[in-house]
Amino acid sequence: MGLSVVIVALWVLSTSVVRGGKVLVFPQDGSHWINMKVIIEELHSRGHSVSVVRPSDSWYIKGTSLHYKSITVDVPGGADEEFFRSFVSRQIQIQREGKSAWTRLSLDMELKDRFSEMHRKVCEMVIHMFGDKELMESIRETQYDLVLTDPANGGGVMLAHYLKVPLVFNVRWTVHGEAHFAIAPSPLSYVPFPIAELTDEMGFSQRVRNVFAYVFRQHLYRRAVGPPYSALVSRYFGPGVDYFSLFQAADLWLMRVDFVFEFPRPTMPNVIYMGGFQCRPAKPLPRQLEEFVQSSGQHGVIVMSLGTLVGQLPRDVADEIAFSFAQLPQKVIWRYKGDRPTALGNNTLLVDWLPQNDLLGHPKTRLFVSHGGTNGIFEAIYHSIPMVGVPLVFDQHDNLSRMKAKGAATVVDIATLDRNIFSRALTEVLHEPSYKMNMQRLSELHRDVPMKPLDSALFWIEFVMRHKGAAHLRTESYRMPWYSYHSVDVMAFLLTVVLILLLATFVIVRWLLFRMCCRPKMKHD
């Protein structure tokens, strides 16, 4: 494997003609930034210069970095971590306490408002930038080769269109929902709409659910998020421009999924799959952690983390989990910032932070207890560690349902989680060999590619630099009106022709019949 890595590195080096490209990044603040950073660092290490647009109060996107120059816009638009943290903990509470649908809905509305607010701020950033003649002049003068953006917000799309430079997405979700649904034909009979927790094999009622999920979600996204961007588009690009089309005009979609995770589905030629691009072989653990891991002996280690947004859990949940862990012969490393659960066993180490990729890549690791964020799932796949999922919010239920469908995870509902249920889940994945075997198979498939995902992403970014876009891979069909795209006009035309022919036939036949039947009659008369 070592040889391969060197060879890929050499090969990439030898083919990348563009040296010192210039990339303008409009990221999505918050946890999405972690993904963008990986690509920025790689761009930097290959000799490209990167500028990152950031709101003045961003906690994630630092103002100074070795890897990029920052363009700080004096608008407070940073991700509201506090809100999201509280949102998740209130969600857990609601689920645990079986609160009324009304409470759930009102929390959902609060989330929707917060998203709208976020998009409003992004729009303000864009307006602020476009209004700053000096800034825009200096950006123009830099002559960026492309805009790289996470289209979970629309800022980068506006910027690229304004500057008339190629547009590259680092994407899983767009402003309008899952990225595939914005670009590739997605027959709802076998392409599950995300969040619906469906697979590519659906019965009748599941297909009905899928259609509902699609119609309502897409509608909601467009209604909730569309207006501010539409206003921006008509303000700067004139009334004839459709803001959804600007999205679809992207040259390249670097998609953060892979077909060991995504179900097979139609795709477009300008979609490059780079799921797992952040995974890498494990580095050695810090000494103390390594000692703890080694002390597990033949039983091995369980790693648990519910993501950066979940520092703590309701006291009773934490106790049930701690109790379950305490019954096991394995050692457990649990990222947990709350009060020490009373039932905590000697085998369980609580930590504030853990080197997740290195731990999952450790030969002693047996099991990963996870909330089901995409990054964690890909690390588990890469290192072939089966999972117990405890999904909490957003796309986590859906992500984990996919791993469950592939037989590589079991899923526990936070609403009903207790020591019995949790212990049963842990024991099942630890002792039923199919989980490990399935994860192993996914891992082998995932790793067996002509080019590693990060190298592939970089190859195609540099491709866009070299050729000033990738128009030959992009369909322009999004410019068609919907009735032409779906051939409604052609069908209506053909139907009309058929009807006219039928009518004509009917009239002629009637006339002929009339002549045949009535003439003799007249004679008789």
Site for a second copy in 377-416 (CB under 8 A): none
User: According to the binding rule CB under 8 A, does residue 189 interact with a second copy?
Assistant: yes
Q: Which of 34, 105, 109, 208 binds a second copy (CB under 8 A)?
A: 208
Q: Which of 287, 431, 472, 521 binds a second copy (CB under 8 A)?
A: 472
Coil/strand/helix, residue 211: helix
From its phi and psi, is residue 302 left (phi > 0), alpha (psi between -120 and 50) or beta? beta
For the bound state, the minimum distance from the C-beta of residue 225 to a second copy, rounded and expressed in Å, comes to 26
Phi, psi of 169 (to 5 degrees): -100, 135
Name the token pair of 478: 């999004």
**Residue (21 or 77) nearer to a second copy, CB:** 21
User: According to the binding rule CB under 8 A, does residue 463 interact with a second copy?
Assistant: yes
Report helix angle 374-382 to 433-447, nearest 10: 90
Name the token pair of 364: 């002693």
CB of 367 closer than 8 Å to CB of 303: yes
**Residue (354 or 464) nearer to a second copy, CB:** 464
User: According to the binding rule CB under 8 A, does residue 45 interact with a second copy?
Assistant: no
For the bound state, the minimum distance from the C-beta of residue 399 to a second copy, rounded and expressed in Å, comes to 17
Taken in order 382, 383, 388, 391, the sign of the CA dihedral is negative
Q: What is the DSSP letter of 472?
A: G
User: According to the binding rule CB under 8 A, does residue 437 interact with a second copy?
Assistant: no
User: According to the binding rule CB under 8 A, does residue 494 interact with a second copy?
Assistant: yes
CB of 29 closer than 8 Å to CB of 61: yes
CA 276 to CA 448: how far, in whole Å?
12
**Residue (272 or 393) nearer to a second copy, CB:** 272
Name the token pair of 387: 């999972």
CA 226 to CA 230: how far, in whole Å?
6
Site for a second copy in 67-126 (CB under 8 A): none
User: According to the binding rule CB under 8 A, does residue 248 interact with a second copy?
Assistant: no
User: According to the binding rule CB under 8 A, does residue 255 interact with a second copy?
Assistant: no
Q: What residues are paired with 73 via a beta bridge?
A: 55
User: According to the binding rule CB under 8 A, does residue 281 interact with a second copy?
Assistant: no
**Residue (337 or 467) nearer to a second copy, CB:** 467
Q: Which of 41, 200, 242, 290 binds a second copy (CB under 8 A)?
A: 200
**Residue (208 or 518) nearer to a second copy, CB:** 208
Name the token pair of 194: 């995300």
Q: Which of 67, 222, 265, 299 binds a second copy (CB under 8 A)?
A: 265
Q: Which listed range, 185-193, 234-242, 282-290, 500-508, lies at the site for a second copy (CB under 8 A)?
A: 185-193
User: According to the binding rule CB under 8 A, does residue 263 interact with a second copy?
Assistant: yes
Q: Which listed range, 80-88, 89-97, 416-424, 458-466, lies at the site for a second copy (CB under 8 A)?
A: 458-466
Q: Is residue 426 within a helix (H) or strand (E), and if so which, with residue range?
A: helix 419-431
Q: Which listed range, 46-54, 140-148, 202-210, 235-243, lies at the site for a second copy (CB under 8 A)?
A: 202-210
Q: 413 Cβ partners below 8 Å, 6+ apart?
A: 95
CB of 401 closer than 8 Å to CB of 387: no
Phi, psi of 231 (to 5 degrees): -60, -45
Q: Which listed range, 2-10, 83-91, 156-164, 350-358, lies at the site for a second copy (CB under 8 A)?
A: 2-10
Coil/strand/helix, residue 173: strand
Helices (H), 153-260: 155-163, 179-183, 204-237, 243-248
Q: What is the DSSP letter of 239?
A: T
For the bound state, the minimum distance from the C-beta of residue 438 to a second copy, rounded and expressed in Å, comes to 11
- Give the binding site for a second copy (CB under 8 A): 3-4, 7-8, 10-11, 14-15, 184-185, 187-190, 200-201, 204, 207-208, 211, 259-260, 263-270, 444-445, 448, 450-451, 455-456, 459, 463, 466-467, 472-477, 480, 484-487, 489-490, 493-494
